[in-house]
Amino acid sequence: MRDRGKAILGRLRSVAKVWPGSVRLLICAMSLWATALAAPGPWALVAVPVLVGLGFLCLRRHHHLGVLLIVFACLFTVQTTMLSAAHGTGEVTDVDGIVVGHSQPGGSGWSRLTVLTSSGITEVLSPSVPPAGSHISMRTEALDDVRLSNADPTILRAPNSLWQWRGDLRMQLRHESLASGHSGGALLPGLVVGDTEPQDAQMKDDMRVVSLTHISAVSGSNVTIVSLGAGLLAGLCRAGPRTRVAVGVLTCVGYVFVVGFEPSAIRAAGMAIAVALVFLRGGGISPVAVMSSTVCILLSLVPVLASSVGFVLSVVSTAAIMFVVPIILRRLSLRLSMVPAIVISALIVPLVAQLACTPVLVAIDPRIGLWSVAANALAAPAVLPATILGFLSLVCAGIGLVGVPGLLWCAQLPAWLGSLCAWWIVAVAKVCAGLPGAALDWPKPPWGTLAALGLLILLAAGLWLLVRRKLWGVPVVVLCICLTALNIVVGRTKPPADDWLVMICDVGQGSATLINLGDDRGLVIDTGEDPKPVDVCLDEGRIENVDLAISHFDADHSAGYAGTTWSRTLHRLWVSANVVGSDEVRDIVEDTGAEVVPTTRGRTLDAGGARIEVLWPPPQTVQERGSAAESGEVRNEDSLVLRVEQEGLSYLVPGDIGEDEQFIVAQSLEPVDVLIAPHHGSSDLSEDFFTAAGARLGVISVGENSYGHPTPRAQRAFGPVPVLRTDLCGTVAVYADAQYSTGRHCESVSE
């Protein structure tokens, strides 16, 4: 073992001697990544003169070390300056610049603007999105690694003609794609220019489940296809290596301008340029040096990428494709000489990229999909033609928009054909996401991540032995498969028994309660913020026909309503009579076609044998409704409070009511078997309410949050009864006589 260790160390030393520049750049990239994650303030610049001085002292005897220190000091200076400019001061300050990119609005309605200022690029969370290219001014304050503006940006100057052309070009591609009339038309604008607005929530979730999210928006592969295609086209015109690289890089820059200069697009462009340099240069260049240089430049100019999961995935997948794929291809091409190289590449590239990214993916979402590799392999052949056809439509439309006759019409055919290719990708994602084992539970980080990394290393070792015709590879691969299955079985979520009556769904920091009405019917009270968890909960409960009750329209109670309609029928929408005419109710009705059922305090409803009493809120006067509509404020005190009796089990679903409302409800409240904590266990509570409920079981619907939910006071208020938290126990299913089961093994907080 000692001799083998010495041999490995000697080999590393020989590699460092043969490729000193590559090793130097690799160390520099890793160091810059670490400093970007640490995000030091301007005070860290005092170390720069020391590093430069040490570098010059080392130049004579240790030349490579000296160069490394000097290069790192220069890049570190740029990185620290950009970080300071992006974060600004801790005080409230004005951000004045040009909007060069933005994210799609999230569930809260806020977007992340990328603003080019005189001091660099700044990321600002904004309640609205001005047109790209607008010169704006915003009053902002510091929020973690970005700035926050509570007011809409002030537009000082409208976009110039170039930016207007860009906006028209993006809208033209969307229009031509959606004209195809199928789901591929919604995917193509995202795949080509990052316009994901036409994609619905189910499409996005299907793509996420089978690890095709990188296709739903512009990624490094799309930019690589465009830049490599332009460079290869220049090569067909007998251009030399430098000209090919120049054409590829310039095409990449122009393409990113159309996509937008947000960090994700800059990251994709960086990876694309790295690949283009390696393949268009035609040899004589080290892939390690190119990758390391790209990472150094990106992390110096856009340090926020260091904490971006997309950046990590891009680096990992690109490195795996550049270093691992050629070795495997050479081996397999010799063994499988009858199989075309392009077929082998189509199978190997997604497999290697998917396996390399698995430890990172399970750190984001502790699930593993059995069909992810198959989905990537099936979708991969359609990505190339979809991207090329979409880009061709973009070029035709761009030239047509400047006045060349006929080209706007010519843009329709490639957009239609590209949408057809994109339809195949959507169909693959939908079918694979619906197969058993598409999303299997995996242990949570950090142990889940370490387990995935260890299993990946074990699998790589086994496959390497098999490629070298070593029989030891078979038991190693079998052991890897067995350990993977063991991790899945240990970490899996337990489904409820068939006789469940009510389920308090694990939807993160939010609320969703599912009542079993029999015959595959259910009543969902609130949905959480994300559509996927409530969809999973309905699947676990085997519910096909749904009624929906929304207690109030906070995002963590209502924004995930789309998940109740995925492969199901939503029949009725129950809301307080006080909000029947609100914009939120109209939006849900227009989206789902549900029938609105207004409820008022004192009303008793019968649904499939469940007796539901509406305990809160009282009806508002016309004047109160008008003032609430004008303010647009969502108030917790207006939450629906429902008491349900079903087959001898009684339970209370109290929304987000606070101390005053709880005290009023407590005066006439009959005891219940199960009490769901109001407002996720907030300290805004009345002990009288918990005492009047007299519950035998307490449940707190809560997830990761910065509010301190659930508070110790809320947990103590239940008294000496079992109290289950969904963040610890998963989904809680309750049966007759207040018996319960949980999705994950846990202890009640009262024990």
Tens digit of pLDDT for each residue in 374-388? 888 888 888 888 988
User: pLDDT grade, residue 319 (50/70/90)?
Assistant: confident
Residue 215 has a pLDDT of 81
Between the CA atoms of 49, 54, 56 and 62, what dihedral angle is there, to the nearest 10 degrees?
-160
H helix or E strand, kind and range, residue 614: strand 610-616
Residue 515 has a pLDDT of 95
Between the CA atoms of 712, 715, 719 and 723, what dihedral angle is there, to the nearest 10 degrees?
-150
Residue 18 has a pLDDT of 45
CB-based contact 454:479 (threshold 8 Å)? no
Integer angstrom CA distances of residue 296 from 23, 63, 82, 302, 527: 13, 20, 14, 10, 43
CA distance 216 to 221: 12
564: nearest Cα among 600, 527, 598, 601:
527
Q: Could you tell me what percentage of the chain is helix, strand and coil, using 3-state DSSP and rounding each to the nearest 5?
A: 55, 15, 30
516: nearest Cα among 504, 532, 529, 533:
504
pTM confidence score: 0.77
Q: What angle do CA 227, 230, 231 make, to 5 degrees?
A: 85
Please name the CATH architecture into which domain 92-159 falls. Beta Barrel (2.40)
Collect contacts of 297-302 with beta carbons under 8 A, ≥24 apart.
297/270, 298/266, 298/267, 298/270, 299/29, 299/32, 299/33, 299/36, 299/79, 300/32, 300/75, 300/76, 300/78, 300/79, 300/82, 301/78, 301/82, 301/121, 301/266, 302/82, 302/121, 302/263, 302/266, 302/267
Tens digit of pLDDT for each residue in 108-118? 668 888 888 87
Please enumerate in sequence order all residues whose Cβ is within 8 A of that of 149, keeping only pairs 6 or more positions apart, or say none: 95, 124, 125, 126, 127, 138, 139, 140, 141
User: pLDDT grade, residue 479 (50/70/90)?
Assistant: confident
- CATH class as words, domain 502-618+635-742: alpha beta
Tens digit of pLDDT for each residue in 165-209? 999 999 999 999 999 888 999 999 998 988 888 988 888 888 888
Please enumerate in sequence order all residues whose Cβ is within 8 A of that of 413, keeping only pairs 6 or more positions apart, or say none: none
CA distance 359 to 457: 11
Query: Which of 48-57, 238-247, 291-300, 698-707 has the weakest average pLDDT?
Result: 238-247
Order of strands, sheet of 545-549, starting from the edge strand that comes earlier in the sequence: 595-599, 569-576, 545-549, 521-525, 513-518, 502-504, 732-734, 740-742
- Intrachain domains 92-159 and 502-618+635-742 with the same fold: no
CA distance 748 to 149: 41
Q: Which amino acid is at 518?
A: G
Neighbouring-strand partners of residue 521? 518, 545
Q: Residue 122: phi, psi to the nearest 5?
A: -125, 135
- pLDDT over threshold 60, residue 610: yes
Crossing angle of helices 63-87 and 287-301, in 10° steps, is 30
Q: Average pLDDT over the chain, rounded to whole? A: 84
At 36, is the secondary structure helix, strand, or coil? helix
Query: What are the residue boundaries of the structural domains of the chain, listed by start?
Result: 1-87, 92-159, 164-441, 446-487, 502-618+635-742
Q: Which two tokens stand for residue 390?
A: 């979409």
Tens digit of pLDDT for each residue in 421-433? 999 999 999 998 8
396: nearest Cα among 380, 418, 364, 379:
418
Between the CA atoms of 197, 202, 206 and 207, what dihedral angle is there, to the nearest 10 degrees?
0
Please state whether beta strands 649-653 and 674-676 pair in parallel, antiparallel, or not at all (unpaired). parallel
